[in-house]
Each structure stands twice: as C-alpha cells, then as structure tokens.
Amino acid sequence: MRLTKVFGKMKHRVVLPALLCLILTGLLLWMWVFDRRGFEGLPEISRLYTREAINTLQSQNVITPIVLSWRGFDTYGEILILLLATAGVAYGIRTKREESRSQRRGLEATRIAKAGISILQPLILIFGAYIFTHGHLSPGGGFPGGIVLSSGFILWIITDPQNRLRRDLLHLLESVFGTVYMVLCLLGLILAGSFMNLTYLPAGRMGELFSSGAIPLIYTAVGIKVGIQLLQIVENFRD
Amino acid sequence: MITIDLVAIALMIIGLWGMMTQKNLIKLVIAFNIFDTGVNLLIVSVGYIKDRMAPVLDSKDLRRQAEELIVDPVPSAMVLTSIVIGVAITALMLVFTVKYYRRTGSLILGEER
C-alpha cells in the first residue's frame, strides 16, 4: 500500500531525471560516434588476427578463430553464463504442486503442424548440423547452429503437449559435450603449447570442410551443447 | 555508416527510456531487449570500414589482400558473444517475472496485493 503511494507520487519525478539521463547518454554516444570518424584501416590487433587466421589456421571465416581460439575465454564464459541461466530458469520456475503440472494441458496443434513436422524436423536438424560444421567456412557456427537444432525439437514439443523430452538424457548429453569442448581446448595445451591453441590438427587448405585445425570439432561440441541448453530452458518454461 | 550509428543510438535511448519509466515487467523485458539490440548494432558499426566486405574470405582477391579488404572482425566476434548472453538474461528476467506474478498476482511493480 505504502509503495503504491510512493510510486504514484514519484510518477512526475521519475520522468524528468529519466529525460535528463537520456539526453546525456545520447550526447555522449553522439560525441563518441563523431570522435572515431576518420579512422581508416584495421587496428593492429585485427591485422594480426587476420594474418594468423590465413597463415596458420587456413580459416575462411576470420571471425571463427577469433571467437574460439584467441578470444576463447569469452566463448567459454558465455557458455557458462548460458549454463547459469539454464540452472536459474530450472530453479526459479519450479512448482511444488506436481499434480497441477500434469493436469495443465496445453493447446492441441493443428493438423497442418502435425503433418508438417515429419517433413520439417529432419530438414531443420540437418540444416542446424550444416551450420555448425561449416562455421569456419561461412557465416554461422556453433551458436546459430545450436539454436536451429533446438528449434527442430521445439517444433516437436509444441505439436503435442504430451511430447516430453527426457531431462536426464538432456543433462547427460550437455555434460558430455561440455566435457568434449574442454578436452579439445586442453589438447591445445598438451599438443600445441597453449590453452585453446587449435593448430594441433592439420590446417588443410582454405575452403575445404576438413580445414582450420580443430575448429569444426569444437564448433560441433559447442553447437550441440548450446542447442541442448536452449532446449532445457524451453522445456523448463513449460511447467 | 552514420545512419546505422544513429539508429543504434535511437534504439538504445528508447530502450533506456523504457527501462527507466515502465512499471509493467513484460514491458521492462521488451525495453531491455530493444536496448540490447541497440548496443549490438553500435558495436557492429564500430568495426565497419567504408567500402569493405565481411570477413569471410571466399574469393582469391580477398585471400590475397585480406587486411585491405575486410571490415574489423573483432567487434563482430564480440557481438556473437553478446547476443547469446542477451538471450540468457532475457530468459532469466522472464523467470523472475513469472515468480513475481505467482507471488503477487500482478505484473505491475508497486501494485502488490
């Protein structure tokens, strides 16, 4: 009750400082945008990354080795954040009343969705696998690939409310592929001299599927892990 | 690419405005997502260099003089990370919204029963 009063009174007092903040933020960003005009060519670090990507890894997509190798800790932290979010969703959305969960029936899907899924689901899964195995050749990689992969299963979930994914299997697969990712990164420490150094597999020729060291393997592990984590988030939101 | 910068700043300001003034939790989440999109757009536009191509070396010319022909790959790599984190944070915010609704029966801050 008291809070309502405070918020009701603050309504006008919120708007003016908010406007002031926005104008200041906009001005700062505007100044910064103009400040970096007249900046030509790549910075030194990007030049180094580009040279290394071409010479030592033969990776057609320059972004991929940056994400997985030289800035690999960012990706690792990102996967950990996704894991924490999954755990937070699973913890936060849990209901105590088990029986109400089974009683709550979702909407039945239409006949079109039910007929279409048998054709669409394999295609979506293959497309997801294509995206993350070609992460070093074309735009894409583990994260978009994993999301496409999970969307195939989400389609299966929404066509019938009785369709449930086995959570123990999801946990197991997620742990296995997370371990595979870490082992592939650690192999760099053992075989190539530094953590997340992906040159321990042959670099091959640029533009071929089996090229750029261990990047296709790592992106496969990352893609499946990300897909399963998103599936867990969606599966938890159904409760 | 001044247009993209302006669009990004406008999106960020709209998102910040929403986050500061809205009291409906769903609208807060939407405002956060608009802000997130603006930030990502701004980071990508930092790496843009005029008349250059995406850092995917799919032709001989690009491979030979990549450093003179591609845009900066590092901001793109950063945005790849930030998009996924945005998704994770959105999921968490929605969970808090669900919990708040279950506890108070309302989606609007300051109107608890």
- What is this structure's pTM? 0.81
Q: What is the per-residue pLDDT across A198-210, written as a single tens digit (0 to 9) for each? A: 778 777 777 777 8
**Pick the residue with more confidence: B78 or A14?**
B78
With CA atoms as reference, the chain A residue closest to B64 would be A54
Which among B52, B92, B107 has a CA at the least distance from the CA of A236? B92
Over residues B58-82, mean pLDDT: 83
Question: Using CA atoms, how far apart are residues B4 and B34, in angstroms rounded to an integer?
Answer: 15
Structure tokens at B27: 């609208």
- Whether residue B73 and residue A63 make contact (CB cut-off 8 A), yes or no, is yes
pLDDT for A1 equals: 43
Judge if ipTM > 0.85: no
Q: pLDDT class for A6, splitting at 50, 70, 90?
A: very low
A30 Cα to chain B: minimum distance (Å): 8
- In sequence order, what are the residues at sequence separation of 6 or more whose Cβ sits closer than 8 angstroms to the Cβ of residue B18? B27, B28, B30, B31, B32, B34, B35
Yes or no: say if A69 and A198 are a contact pair by the CB < 8 Å rule.
Answer: yes
| Burial letters A45-78, b for 16+ CB under 10 A, else e | ebeebbebbbebbbbbbbbbbbbbbbbbebbbeb
Q: What residues of A are in contact with residue B55 (Cβ under 8 Å)? A: 50, 61-63
Is 50 exceeded by the pLDDT of residue B82?
A: yes
Query: Hey, is the C-beta of A93 within 8 angstroms of any chain B C-beta?
Result: yes
pLDDT for A127 equals: 92
Q: Which amino acid is at B88?
A: A
Q: What residues of A are in contact with residue B84 (Cβ under 8 Å)? A: 78, 81-82, 143, 226
- Whether residue B76 and residue A63 make contact (CB cut-off 8 A), yes or no, is yes
Q: What is the per-residue pLDDT across A79-88, written as a single tens digit (0 to 9) for each? A: 889 889 888 8
Within the 105-144 window of chain A, which residues sit less than 8 Å (CB to CB) from chain B?
Answer: 138-139, 141, 143
Residue A211 backbone class (left: φ over 0; alpha: ψ -120 to 50; beta: rest): beta
Query: Hey, is the C-beta of A81 within 8 angstroms of any chain B C-beta?
Result: yes
**Secondary structure class of A61 (helix, strand, coil):** strand
Query: Hey, is the C-beta of B58 within 8 angstroms of any chain A C-beta?
Result: yes
Question: Using CA atoms, how far apart are residues B17 and B12, in angstroms rounded to an integer?
Answer: 8
Yes or no: say if A225 and A81 are a contact pair by the CB < 8 Å rule.
Answer: no
Q: What is the per-residue pLDDT across B88-112, written as a single tens digit (0 to 9) for each? A: 899 899 999 988 888 888 888 877 6
**Secondary structure class of B107 (helix, strand, coil):** coil
- Whether residue B17 and residue A78 make contact (CB cut-off 8 A), yes or no, is no
Question: Using CA atoms, how far apart are residues B2 and A62, in angstroms rounded to an integer?
Answer: 25
- Whether residue B88 and residue A7 make contact (CB cut-off 8 A), yes or no, is no
Q: What residues of B are in contact with residue A49 (Cβ under 8 Å)? A: 73-74
Over residues B36-54, mean pLDDT: 85
Average pLDDT, whole number, for chain A?
81
With CA atoms as reference, the chain B residue closest to A64 would be B77
